[in-house]
Amino acid sequence: MQILEDLEYDASSPDEIALISAANHLGFEFVCRPMLNEIMIAITNENLLNVFLVQEQIDFLNEQRKKFPGTNSYVTITFHLFDMLEFDSVRKMMSVIILTNDRNYLILTKGADTNILKNASDQNESGAFDLLNDTLHNFACSGLRTLVFAYRIVSEDTAASYLEQLSYVKSCTSAHPSELAAISSHIESDFLILGCTGINDRLQDDVPQTIQAFKDAGINIWMLTGDKVETAISVAHSANLMDEKTFNVILSETDVTLLNHQ
């Protein structure tokens, strides 16, 4: 497979572009979607071949390179995408069910740290959460939007059962949204944590100057956000909503009694 240089991606959100560009930098080049339920990835980092290829494929690759030395080609692997659980504001995550190159059925998930971590497996390494939370805190204080990534390996029978339930609920016009939520809660559980990312969602041009003009005109400004508190504070400073003279009161409790105490 020949890979084009200087590719430019287009996506529905800056998060998706950032993630796929980062994957490309690490040696995973998105090639195409041969079919709606397939994703083709090129491995452009030689160090990753032993991780993602089975031995028969490695042997075949070495034979081809001996026959055709000096060719600038890369190995591609295709993942079968069975179904997707779209993001919603309650679950605060999205998941896909895929079949890997070595015939493993995986549930891959990305989303808000609080929602994913509460569904994490007890099999995660001790101390991993402390490191993850420290990293998330540092990302948020830098004004980065954070995501946590997790996975779960399931058997073929379990995957088939999940897919059958999803197909029924999604195709049945009389199905209640709570049915999909119930299935999602079973699928998106017992996670092994992969890690986290921090994405810089840059402000539009002249935002600080515009905010200052509003403030000078006596207009009160509110910022509504679903981000972490640390991220919101950092962005507020960047946007000129807050400065070093701002008196900052943080009311973070959700219980009325505790909130009154704050």
Question: pLDDT confidence of 27, banded at 50, 70, 90?
Answer: confident
Which of the listed ranges 12-16, 100-104, 116-120 does the model predict with the highest average pLDDT?
116-120
For range 227-237, the mean pLDDT: 86
* Ramachandran angles phi, psi of 209, nearest 5°: -65, -40
What is residue 73's predicted lDDT score, i.e. its pLDDT?
Answer: 59
What is residue 34's predicted lDDT score, i.e. its pLDDT?
Answer: 86
Q: What is the rounded average pLDDT for all residues in the chain? A: 86
Question: pLDDT confidence of 69, banded at 50, 70, 90?
Answer: low
Question: pLDDT confidence of 28, banded at 50, 70, 90?
Answer: confident
Owner of token pair 């944590």? 193
**pLDDT value at 72 more than 60:** no
DSSP state string for 49-108: HHHHS-HHHHHHHHHHHHHSTT----EEEEEEEEEEE---TTT-EEEEEEE-TTS-EEEE
Task: Report d(CA 76, CA 57) in Å as an integer.
Answer: 11
Owner of token pair 């009694």? 257
Burial class (CB in 10 A: 0-12, 13-18, 19+), 50: exposed
User: Which CATH number is associated with domain 14-199?
Assistant: 3.40.1110
**pLDDT value at 77 more than 80:** yes
For range 101-129, the mean pLDDT: 90
- Of 52 and 100, the structure prediction assigns the larger pLDDT to 100
What is residue 71's predicted lDDT score, i.e. its pLDDT?
Answer: 53
142-184 pLDDT tens trace: 888 899 999 999 999 999 999 999 999 988 877 788 888 999 9
Which of the listed ranges 43-47, 142-146, 183-187 does the model predict with the highest average pLDDT?
183-187
> Rg of the Cα trace of the chain?
23
Question: pLDDT confidence of 76, banded at 50, 70, 90?
Answer: confident
Cβ within 8 Å of residue 256, ≥6 positions away:
none
Task: Report d(CA 178, CA 26) in Å as an integer.
Answer: 39
Domain boundaries, the chain: 14-199, 207-261
